[in-house]
Amino acid sequence: MCGIVGFSSRRHSAVGPLVNGLRRLEYRGYDSAGVALQSDGGIRVYKQTGKVGELEKLLKEKLPAAERDAFKMGIAHTRWATHGLPTAANAHPHVADGGRLALVHNGIIENYAALRAGLEKRGVAFASQTDTEVLAHLIAQFDKDDFLSAVTQALKQVEGTYGIAVMSMRHPGEMVVARKGSPLVIGIGEHETVVASDVSAIVAHTRQVIYLKDGDVALVTPDGVNVYTLDNAPVSRDVQEIEFDLGAVEKGGFDHFMLKEIHEQPEALRNTIRGRLDKTDGTAILSGLNLTPRELAAVRRLVIVGCGTSLHAGMVGKHYFESLADIPTSPEQAAEFRYSNPIISPDDWVIALSQSGETADTLAAVRESMRKGALVSGLCNVVGSTIAREVGRGVYLHAGPEISVASTKAFTAQVTALLMTALKLGRTRRLSREEGLRLVAEIERIPDLVGAVVARSNEIAAIAEKRCKAEDMFFIGRGVLYPTALEGALKVKEIAYLHAEGYQAAELKHGPIALLTEKTPVVALLADIPGKEKTVGNVQECRARNAPVVGVVTEGDEEAASHVDDAIFVPRTSEWVAPIVSVVALQLFAYHVARLRGCEIDQPRNLAKSVTVE
């Protein structure tokens, strides 16, 4: 959600690094931005609604270049409104102690109303509607001699989630950062330290980082970092190296990050697959799962938890695990899972899907599953993320940074990783070596098959141009392609701001078909796999109501193509790979529809990349 950047240096002004860091975090979604700068003369705060560019204009107007070098420390923030409207007053940083203390915060302070009432009784005046300002004033109440202690005393009174960075003129040169449920990472450079909610804001300065854990509080100076518990006890955290370089978080000549990431999918999938296929025994090598064949054979039920795109990937995974490994599988919406008092037993395996590894609802589902004694694994893209650390076992996607809010390569990598996991599990059960070897060969082809779909981008754009003025769309599919239809509809909703619904094709005639008109395109998934003939029948029902049909059709399948108005052709594959190649076609279709409608693609309205609050 919101983005945090902190910078402390002996050599450089903080202004440029803070603004550039915020630009690296724009993909997360936000509605206002602000910065607090510290020098010997005090703390200056600049806040603005809208994009980071508006904040940059304000800084150029209010802070002459000749004055900037005096500010060697600062904190900055992009806000996605929760408590209070997106106004400059509600934007971060928030100040207290007469402007001598400034704070930025990601997360939600759940007991802020009670804390605020107590502070108001002590005469504290508030300038915003936010929960965050409460925390700033609370810390100021304790801020005497020891800055770290002031922060920890305040945090002990807080209920909720937080990632914070705070600085005070009572303690020049010191910044305190802390996390509980909202990610923070600290970059260690030469006489400078960078704090951010995402490594993409750090990689321009250093690749040496410390990932804070929940309950960590760190005292940051230009010369280093000391990490403590909330009881002020020192703890040790390993320094790790960021795996990608600056170029991975830049557009590289593409108009949008989303288009770049769609085109990166062949290479991303090669990275997901690389070294994980056993061509001798026809199985997958997933050492990160840290499970023996005996432990895998003992699993009696699978539960896959995720939200949004990850949930759709889990629904594809259900087909894989039940068909290849003969194991009952239940995809569950993570936000509902914890509150449904799920029935979990020790021979259940819970797989948590999250691109960021920080999704609050999925993390809550993980913790509930662990409390109930289940075997729990994570399937994440971000190395060092909270889910990955807490479960201690799983599969990293290695898809590289995903900047666009609308997920593309993370979804195809998740589905591919689930297919390899199902292969491994299947080989401990009824799947023969010969069947395993055939599937290994099929998985090896995935990057090239996806590349063939990406190469059709211009053809897909021409079809999108015919349909981009619609205000309603339906996406239909059967079996393993039903979740793909849901994902296609989600992409159109996310970036084209167009009402779209995904349906199991047979369900269309149980109500939704009443909404079909000549102005309502239907996108039908017609890959030549089991169930296609039934979906063709549903397509005919749509056309009988004058609805135009766009079909995602297997190359060479002229019979299926004859039933649609426009055909997007994808390579011939088995039913296991059909969801992957089909969804790439839908990603491109959604992208071009959004582009033609003039929508903001990488930072769609009201959305955030990583949902770190419940």
Q: What is the pLDDT of residues 277-308, one digit of tens each?
A: 999 999 999 989 988 888 888 999 999 999 99
* Euclidean distance between CA atoms 44 and 494, whole angstroms: 37
Is it the case that residue 130 has pLDDT exceeding 70?
yes
- Looking at the chain, the domain(s) classified CATH 3.40.50.10490 span 253-446, 456-614
* Euclidean distance between CA atoms 509 and 530, whole angstroms: 20
Task: Please give the CATH topology (third level) of the domain spanning 253-446.
Answer: Rossmann fold (3.40.50)
Q: Determine the pLDDT at residue 219.
A: 97
Percent of the chain with pLDDT over 70: 96
Tell me, yes or no, if 380 is annotated catalytic. no
Q: Determine the pLDDT at residue 609.
A: 52
Q: Determine the pLDDT at residue 514.
A: 72
Is it the case that residue 77 has pLDDT exceeding 60?
yes
Taking a C-beta distance cutoff of 8 angstroms, is the pair 265, 450 a contact? yes
Residue 221 Ramachandran class (φ > 0 left, ψ -120 to 50 alpha, else beta): beta
* Residue written as token pair 């990160």: 288
**With bands split at pLDDT 50, 70 and 90, how would you rate the model's confidence at 28?**
low
Tell me, yes or no, if 213 is annotated catalytic. no
- Looking at the chain, the domain(s) classified CATH 3.60.20.10 span 3-249
For residue 372, what is the DSSP state?
T
**With bands split at pLDDT 50, 70 and 90, how would you rate the model's confidence at 182?**
confident
Query: How many CA atoms within 13 Å lie on the side-chain side of 177?
Result: 33
Cis, peptide link before residue 293, omega less than 30° from 0:
no
* Euclidean distance between CA atoms 8 and 194, whole angstroms: 7
* Euclidean distance between CA atoms 493 and 301, whole angstroms: 33
- 456-614: CATH, from 3.90.79.10, 3.40.50.10490, 3.40.50.300, 3.30.1330.10: 3.40.50.10490
C-beta neighbour count of 464 within 10 angstroms: 23
Torsion sign, CA atoms 383, 387, 392, 397: negative
The one catalytic residue in 2, 307, 468, 542 is 2
The one catalytic residue in 47, 72, 424, 609 is 609
Give the residue among 131, 227, 139, 119 at the shortest CA–CA distance from 179.
Answer: 227
- Residues shown for the chain: 614
Residue range 257-269: mean pLDDT, rounded: 95
Query: Greater confidence, 612 or 174?
Result: 174
- Kindly give the pairing relationship between strand 42-49 and strand 101-106: unpaired
Query: Greater confidence, 4 or 253?
Result: 4
Query: What is the DSSP code string of 313-335?
Result: HHHHHHHHHHHHH---EEEEEHH
Q: Determine the pLDDT at residue 607.
A: 64
* Euclidean distance between CA atoms 278 and 420, whole angstroms: 11
Taking a C-beta distance cutoff of 8 angstroms, is the pair 467, 549 a contact? no
Q: Determine the pLDDT at residue 25.
A: 83
309-356 pLDDT, tens digit each: 999 999 999 999 999 999 999 999 999 998 888 889 999 999 999 988
Weakest mean pLDDT among 58-72, 109-123, 458-472, 501-515: 501-515
CA distance to 109, 334, 338, 352, 430, per residue, from 368 (Å)? 22, 11, 6, 12, 31
Q: Determine the pLDDT at residue 410.
A: 94
Q: What is the chain's mean pLDDT, rounded? A: 91
Identify the three-state secondary structure at position 383.
coil
**With bands split at pLDDT 50, 70 and 90, how would you rate the model's confidence at 522?**
very high
Under CATH, which number does the domain 3-249 receive? 3.60.20.10
| Global confidence as pTM | 0.77
Token pair of 171, please?
């303690």
Give strand pairing partners of 570: 554
**With bands split at pLDDT 50, 70 and 90, how would you rate the model's confidence at 65?**
confident
**With bands split at pLDDT 50, 70 and 90, how would you rate the model's confidence at 491?**
very high
Cα-trace Rg, the chain: 25
